[in-house]
Structures are given as structure tokens and as C-alpha cells.
Amino acid sequence: MFEKLFGWGKKKPASAPESEIPFGRYSDNNKPVSKVNRWTDADNFFKEKKYPEGLDAFFDYLRDDNAKNVVYERNGAEGRFEFYQGSKIVRGIFDSRALKAEVTLAKMPQSSVPVMRRLLEMNFSLYYSRFALDNDRLCMRFDSHIEAANPSKLYYGLKELSTKADKQDDLLVQDFSSLETVDSEHVITIPVTEKEIKYEYMQKWIAQTLDTITGLDADKFSGGIAYMLLSLVYRIDYLVTPEGKLLYDLEKIANIYFKKDERPAVEKNRDMVEEFRKLQARTKEEIFTYLFRSKYTFAIVAPQNYKAVSDSIHGANQSMVWYRDNNYPFIATQVTEYGISYCQYSYSLPKVITQLFHLYMQVNYSEYFAAIGNKKGYYNTANNHFDNEAIIDQVKTIQEKWRDKYPNMDFKTHNLRFDTLVNFNQTFTTELEFLNMESK
């Protein structure tokens, strides 16, 4: 329907990626004031029943001007839109009566009962959208009468549609051989050299963690083992930035620990280790298929009050003390890393906190950053040497950049310790814990 109406067919391959490598998950928690005002405009236009103007404002709010993630055109009361969410493109139309949006999941040349059963079961968990079959094309759809299409309904409806589709397309094709991948020409391939480095370090981190665990008493160190495994999940998620089923498998490992059941930590740790061993056994070629770049419109996690971040950091640093004092420096660094990396993974953080977290990771994994072309070597593992001045300068640069929005944020660089990595991590994250993040 959309192809016939607007002539949308296959797009040309995306242009070459920028030299700067992105890290971590997309966050829509950092819109400038001008974009936030557009949400207010959209809401006011809707209340005044100026629906076309309301849609103008709404899609302007969604558009990330840097990422160029939204295309929107209107002629009178009619128009079209499309936006990116990972490996999927959502396409839609609207007129004076209704708004409709659709995303293609996969191609199904022949009918498959198992596939249809899976989609029928998943339909029960959807609030705004639904799965559909259009000839041999599996898709998801969302629609609304224009009089009911207020900004909140559009936001949550389109978010459900796009985030669910982005997650399910790869899983469906992976689980059912009868399905074929379609409509993914817009994803940006990354250089093979970058894939090689990401694969190499992912395997290195997994091996290092599992080897450390092998030498520990599973009962006595159950807490430390859990911290190490979860930190490993969050590190791969942020630094390697996997997509598709590899991302889903990492989420599954984390969910083993956080699943609300009565099983002891020892059993959960054992199951997480087993899943990492499966990940370890995957071929390089298979891992490579999940390493690419995408544009996003919606974050898959939600913002949280900064107290949740502070509490996570505080709890981890309290747990770290025993490992530091009993000469387990590697475990101590992983426990501290967990406190902030859990937040980066689980919440849509203010960008200034993500930038400080990125600096923290640059210090802790300087060899990895050097391998992918980062010329700033903040820490030399071989001789335990910190570039104190460069680290402090970067913290101050980040603070100054966000001074207008967070005037009371005060990262006290004089409290940082540069004698050991354990002490640096503890003092750095403690400063993060006590930041005043009240916005102007």
C-alpha cells in the first residue's frame, strides 16, 4: 500500500559511516529546549484541533537533527513520514481522518503455522500495535483516528511499533528458516578491521572473566562472580555495540540473574557462565553479522531520577571494599564498573553522565580504544601510568559543555586518585555519585 501510494521502494545503500565510532545505546533523553518546546506545541495544537500543525510539531520533536532519523512531508491535511529504529524503517501516512504506520519484519514465501502461532502469542503483549500478514510480507501496524492521535498516544504507539519490530525481525528470521530478511538496506556496514577488533576484544574479555571465575570458590565468591558477569554484559553492550540476536543474547544473560525466582546466586552464575561459553564458541563470521550501525528514534530504556544512579554506584562501591582490601584488584575493578555500567545499560542517562562514563571506560580499556583508533591514551596498563592532566582536562571540558543546563554540577577533580586503577575507579565513580544533576 505505502509503496504504491508514495513510490517507496528499496533505498540505495547508506553512505559510508563517519570516522567517529558510536558507543552504547541510543538515548532520546537529551533533546534541546527547542525540541522540548515542539512537544508543547504539538499538545497545544491537538487541543485546538489543529491536527496537521500538531503532526508537524510532533515529528519535529522526534527528529534528531544530527542523526537525520526522521523524514516528514505534508501537503494540506495529507502527508507521509518515515523514521529509523535500528534495522527497521517505520513508514506511515495520514490524512484528515486517520494516521497509519507500518514496518516490514520479514518475507514469508510459504505459510508457516509455527510462525503464525508465535506472532499470535506476541500480539497479546502489545498495547498499541499488532502483527499482520500482507500477502507474503510479515509486518507490524499501528493506526489511530486523527481526533484521538494526541502526542502521548503517537509517541508510545510508534515507540512500541518500532522497538518491538527492531527486536523481533532478527529473532524471527533466526528461529524460522522459512522467513527471509527484507527492508534492511539502510543499515550501515562497518569496516572489517573494526569488526575484527571488536570480536577480538569481546573474546578476550569473556576469556579473562571466565578464567578468573574458574579459580574462585563458587559459593564464597558468588557475589563477586555475579558482578563480574554482569559487568561483562554491560561492557560488551557499550563498547562493542552489538545488534540483532547478539544484543538479544546479552540481554538474556543479564535477565538470568535478575529474574525473580528463588534460585541461589550460585545457580544463576553457573547459567550465565554457560551462556557466555556458548557466545565464546560462536564463529567470527556469525558475530560479524551482528556488527553494524543503525539510526534510532526511540531509546529502548527509560530515564530515571538521578538518585537511582547514585544508589547503584554507592552500593557497588560498598561491595568493592572487601575485594580491594583482600587483594582481588581485578574483581574490585569489575564491581565498581558494575555500579555505573548498570545505569548506562538500564537507563536513558543524561548525555553529560554518558560522556563521563565514556571517559571512565577509556581509562579502564585504553588498549581497546587505542586499537580502534583513539589517540588519547589515558592509562597505560603495563606500567600503571595515568595521564592525570588529560583526564582532568577532559572532565573539566565535559563539565563546561553542560554548565548552562546543569549549573550546580561540580565534579571535584582534586579528589581523584591516580595511584592504582582500583582507587581511581572508586574516586571517579564517587564523584559521579554525588553530582548535583538539577537542571536549569
Closest CA to 333 of 374, 380, 365, 368: 365
Annotation: CATH topology of 2-175? Yope Regulator; Chain: A, (3.30.1460)
Q: What is the pLDDT of residue 3?
A: 46
Dihedral angle sign, alpha carbons of residues 42, 64, 29, 139: positive
Nearest Cα to 344, choosing from 254, 226, 209, 244? 254
Range list of H helices, 92-150: 113-123
Residue 87: the pLDDT is 86
Distance CA 391, CA 389 (A): 5
Domain boundaries, the chain: 2-175, 190-294, 301-440
Q: How far is CA 421 from the centre of its chain?
A: 27
**The predicted structure's pLDDT at residue 405:** 86
Q: At what angle do helices 306-325 and 222-235 cross, to 10 degrees?
A: 130
Among 170, 196, 178, smallest CA distance to 294 is for 170
Question: What's the predicted TM-score (pTM) here?
Answer: 0.86
Rounded to the nearest 10 degrees, what angle do helices 351-364 and 329-346 cross at? 150
Cα–Cα dist 197/180, whole Å: 29
Q: Which of 301, 372, 297, 310 is nearest to 339 (CA)?
A: 310
For the chain, give the number of residues: 440
Angle (CA) 336-275-273 rounded to 5° is: 50
The tens-digit pLDDT sequence of the chain (440 residues) is 444 444 444 443 333 333 478 898 888 777 777 888 999 999 999 999 999 999 999 999 999 888 889 999 999 999 999 999 988 999 999 999 999 999 999 888 888 888 889 888 888 889 999 999 888 899 999 999 999 999 999 999 999 999 999 888 777 887 887 888 777 777 888 999 999 999 999 999 999 999 999 999 999 999 999 999 999 999 999 999 998 889 999 999 999 999 988 899 999 999 999 999 999 999 999 999 999 988 899 988 888 999 999 999 999 999 999 999 999 999 999 999 999 999 999 998 988 999 999 999 999 999 999 999 887 789 998 899 999 999 999 999 999 999 988 999 999 999 999 999 999 999 999 999 999 999 87
Contact 395, 409 (CB under 8 A): no
Q: What is the pLDDT of residue 119?
A: 86
Burial of 155 (0-12, 13-18, 19+ CB in 10 A): middle
